[in-house]
Amino acid sequence: MAKIQAPKGVSEYFPPRSTYFEKVRETLIGAAKNAGYSMMELPVFEDTELFIRGVGESTDVVSKEMYTFEDRGGRSITLRPEGTAGVMRSVIEHNLDKGQLPVKVWYSGAFFRAERPQQGRYRQFYQVGIEAIGGSYPEIDAEVIAVAWRSFKTLGLTNFHLDITSLGDAESRSRHRVDLVKFLSGLNLDEATARRAEINPLRLFDDKRAEIIESMKSAPLLLDYLNNESLAHFQKVQELLTNFGVEFRINPRMVRGLDYYTGTTFEFVHDGLGAQSGIGGGGRYDGLMSDLGGADLSGIGFGIGVDRVLLAAEAEGIFVTDERPIESVKLFAIAMGVEAKSYVAGLVNALRDEGISADMAYGDRALKGSMKAADKSGARFSIVIGADELASGQAQLKDMQSGQMQSITIARYSDVTQKIRSL
Ligand code: HAM
């Protein structure tokens, strides 16, 4: 029978690399928890209208990349292309904004965009994100950026940089928009581009075509239009980041791929990944909640691409993912002979009962094959038990990293459990 393959462009993880993926994801989540964010688990599909209103029609994400279908009840459903709109929907629906503010949540899961697949760009990919909703203090902006920064540092990444800018408040943006639209009307734009520019003229800063990049060089920059309040906020964020030791550069031409952004926006870029170098990004969104029918509260958050952070860690040599799992059991036990097999099965079970992770070699493999399995398993220690060991009540425990052996008592399971626990 013909084999069935995964759909084109999806990322998937299996051992041993999946254990590194998990390590990356747990580290990112750990940084969020460390700063007081609580978990939120949301549906992977939502009413299509949520993303049209939330993310914006001028974006590639909404206009070209959504997985949209009609469900059996004739409703238009879309697989979530990003997480912020869904979090807002849920916060509004469950009145979370009526309690303690800011609402600080993290999420982790699969997201879907029908992009052209390549290394680091997938149609199903994974993000860890955080959102802090209600409260537009510069301290929150700096906190959110620092959480992402810390998560990358904790993983050991060094070859990345952080770009920040401010899109200002509504008043600053509308003054800039007047001048930008005037500027754009002097360019000879094709119909589709002109339409995008009409919905969000900032999109033109993000256009990858050489002639547009060239014409946009003399375009008015939003950063030069910030009013006093927006400028003071942005300066405070920079001051805080500097105090935190978070290095950044100001990039006034940065445009994020989603339309809800206002105020502080940022992007983390890895320098060893080639074209798909954005490992995470985010920013403030003043109008999103009210656009979705909620209160007029501001929020800020980020999304980090777990797939890309794993690639970045591999590119920097932090992980060598093609060998053993990064985390495995503490003890791998090998039985030689029938009698030893029952003893080892019992031992492994007793260790697990005590909360100590353990695994064993199955079947009747030769010692060499079993040792190979122990090595490949990534276990911390291994032990070989045969008739001689059972008779003497002693066996050799091998440290799989150093290769060192030590003799341990195996007369009772509890002897082994205690010994392994102490190591
Ligand atoms: P985003 O920049 O669209 O922002 O995505 C965040 C991250 O997800 C990117 O930096 C990238 O690492 C990863 N990513 C995006 N698309 C793909 C893809 N096709 N394949 C692999 N990785 C990808 C957002 O999604 C916003 N919701 C972030 C945010 C939260 N802003 C405020 N709060």
- Among 39-53, 135-149, 186-200, 240-254, the minimum mean pLDDT is found in 186-200
Residue-range domain boundaries for the chain: 17-169+227-315, 331-422
Strands (E), 340-420: 358-360, 381-385, 394-399, 405-409
Pocket of ligand 1 (CB under 6 A): 82-84, 113, 115, 121-122, 125, 127, 129, 131, 257-258, 278-283, 301-303, 305, 307-308
pLDDT bracket for residue 210 (50, 70, 90): very high
Q: Which atom of ligand 1 is nearest to the CA of 284?
A: 32
Across residues 185-209, what is the average pLDDT?
88
Q: Is the pLDDT of residue 148 over 80?
A: yes
The pLDDT of residue 288: 96
| Mean pLDDT across the chain | 95
Amino acid at 212: I
Task: Please report, as a single letter, which amino acid is at residue 418.
Answer: Q
The confidence score (pLDDT) of residue 324 equals 84
User: Which ligand 1 atom minimizes the distance to the CA of 279?
Assistant: 12
CA-nearest residue, atom 18 of ligand 1: 121
What is the average per-residue pLDDT within 179-184? Answer: 94
Q: CA nearest 395: which of 412, 380, 378, 379?
A: 412
Q: Which of 8, 66, 125, 164 to mutate to test the pocket of ligand 1 (most atoms within 8 A of CB)?
A: 125
| Helix, strand, coil percentages for the chain (3-state, nearest 5) | 40, 20, 35
pLDDT digits (tens, 9 = 90+) for 277-289: 999 999 999 999 9
Residue closest by Cα to atom 10 of ligand 1: 280
**Chosen CATH of 331-422 out of 3.40.50.11540, 3.40.50.800, 3.40.50.10490, 2.170.8.10:** 3.40.50.800
Quote the pLDDT of residue 367.
86
- The count of other CB atoms within 10 Å of the CB of residue 142 is 23
**Tokens matching residue 55:** 């993310």
**pLDDT for res 199:** 86
pLDDT given at position 365 = 81
Is the pTM value of this prediction over 0.85?
yes
Q: Which atom of ligand 1 is nearest to the CA of 257?
A: 3
For residue 281, the CA-to-ligand 1 centroid distance in Å is: 6
Cα–ligand 1 centroid distance for 413 (angstroms): 50
What is the pLDDT averaged over residues 52-57? 91
Q: What is the pLDDT of residues 305-351, one digit of tens each?
A: 999 999 999 999 998 877 788 878 999 999 999 899 999 999 999 99
CATH superfamily of domain region 17-169+227-315: Bira Bifunctional Protein; Domain 2 (3.30.930.10)
* CA nearest ligand 1 atom 13, residue: 305
The rounded Å distance from CA 81 to ligand 1 centre is 9
Residues pairing with 47 in the sheet:
77
Coil, strand, or helix at residue 154? helix
Give me 347's structure tokens: 């031992």
Question: ∠ at Cα 357 (354, 363), nearest 5°?
Answer: 110
- Whether residue 421 has pLDDT greater than 90: yes
Greater confidence, 323 or 213? 213
> Within 10 A of 90 (CB to CB), how many other CB atoms are there?
18
Ligand 1, atom 3: closest residue by C-alpha: 257
Report which protein residue has its CA nearest ligand 1's atom 26. 303
126 CA to centre of ligand 1 in angstroms: 9
Residue 98 scores a pLDDT above 80:
yes
| Bridge partners, 197 (sequence order) | none
Which pLDDT tens digit goes with each residue over 346-383?
999 999 999 999 999 998 888 888 889 899 999 999 99
Q: What is the pLDDT of residue 198?
A: 86
